[in-house]
Amino acid sequence: MTLYGLGVTVGAGIYVLAGATAAEAGAHAPISFIVAAIVVAFTALSYAELCIRYPVSGGEAAYVEAGFSRAWLTTGVGLSVALSGIVSAAAVSLGAAAYLGQFVALPQSVLVTFIVAAMGLIAFWGISQSVTTAAVITVIEILGLVFVIGWGMLLTDKQGVEFGEIFSPTSIEPWLGIGSASVLAFFAFVGFEDIANVAEEVKEPRQTMPRAILLTLVIATGLYLATMVTVLMAVPISRLSESSAPLMLVFESSDDRYEIAFGALAVVATVNGVLIQIIMASRIVYGLADRSFLPEIFARVSAKTRTPSIATFCVVFLILFLGQALPIAALAERTSQIVLFVFIAVNLSLLRIKRQPVARNYGFSVPKVVPLVGVATSVGMLVISIV
């Protein structure tokens, strides 16, 4: 589950949006990742408790149902989660196509279609096969980031900023860019909450889920900071901010073999984010239909693969449509806003659930201040994203 969470978090984030965050925050882009991590941390703790209380598919919808008992709100939150996965997958498919385009001279629309269709077939194949594939690819994409960090640090001709400039904004103006970039950086952390949506298919969820959520957040934050610092020191910000395949720039002055090797790793890493979001979104749609919040047809499960076939097909179709219709930055920002709305609803649900009589000891519980701060930080980030 940690590999699953890292697969969608890391693949959907740093490989795709390193340049976009640098365009907003300049040399101080790593600080935006720290801000985003703080916002995510409180909600991650809320998810950790809710996961062991309600280990079911369609996690967020189940949490809101338990907290508010309002069918319209449950359905709205569930569909919002599915939509966030769909929009996120569309954004990542564009990043994957940009990396793949370094090797294959085909139009972006063709590459996006190929990537999404291939990942959709794997998701339809079966949950065991899908998660195993995602886990293997996750190891590859983490090795890719380690490769970037190691190579960038060893470069003798660094063309970026000095290390001292990165963490020392000297006026209020840089903080405006950091605030704006933190919304994009927040997108890079979208993924840990996906773990909640496969809880029904996990062994011993009450032990596994909280650990996986927190490990995903800690490891992803460390990787993001190390990678962003390395790239900013190695590559001029002007070039980094314009690139749709930003991490490739670290290898431009190297032997072609290393650039090709990393490009291949980047393609694998980014398509992984598409696969995991398809799995997540289809399980949300299935979970809502299984609880009669959506038409029964979406709860149909293939007799052969035991996967939600109709839900998976619809999710893949919507990803293809959005991937052709909107640019990557817009997709990432919309994803962040949808997820922040869901985070607010989930934290409020936990506050209401904690007011109910405790029927049993679930083994993990956070104080009420955690979801309260989770609401406040998510609202603050949502306001920044809109303004």
- What tens digit of pLDDT does each residue of 30-76 get? 999 999 999 899 999 898 888 888 877 667 888 898 899 888 888 88
- Res 226: pLDDT: 92
Give me the pLDDT at residue 362, please. 67
Q: Quick one: pLDDT band at residue 360, thresholds 50, 70, 90?
A: low
Determine the Cα–Cα distance for residues 116 and 113; give it in Å rounded to an integer. Answer: 5
| pLDDT average, residue stretch 273-299 | 84
Instruction: Please give the model's pTM, rounded to 2 decimal places.
Output: 0.78
Give the CATH number for residue 359. 1.20.1740.10
Q: What integer is the mean pLDDT of 19-25?
A: 87
pLDDT for residue 34: 92
Number of independent structural domains in the chain? 1
| Domain assignment of residue 28, given as a range | 2-386
Tell me what pLDDT residue 23 has: 87
Q: Report CA torsion sign: 85, 19, 226, 29.
A: negative
Which region among 100-104, 244-248, 347-351, 364-368 has the lowest average model confidence (pLDDT)? 244-248
- How much is the mean pLDDT over the chain? 84
Q: What is the pLDDT of residue 111?
A: 92
Task: Summarize pLDDT for 228-255 with one digit per residue, the tens.
Answer: 999 999 888 888 888 777 888 888 777 7
pLDDT over 60 at 12, yes or no: no
Q: Per residue in 138-182, pLDDT tens? A: 788 788 889 889 988 888 778 888 888 888 776 777 888 888 888
pLDDT at 8: 67
Q: Answer yes or no: is pLDDT of 375 > 90.
A: yes
Both structure tokens of 132: 């195993």
Alpha carbons 18 and 23: distance in angstroms, whole number: 9
Q: Which residues contact 365 (CB under 8 A, 6 or more apart)?
A: 49
Between vectors from CA 325 to CA 133 and to CA 239, what angle results, nearest 5°?
75
CA 212 – CA 363 distance, rounded (Å): 15
At residue 209, the 3 state secondary structure works out as helix
pLDDT, residue 130, reads 66
How do residues 296-335 score in pLDDT, each as one tens digit? 888 888 877 788 889 989 999 999 998 888 777 788 788 8
Structure tokens at 12: 């959907």
* Token duo for residue 113: 């279609």
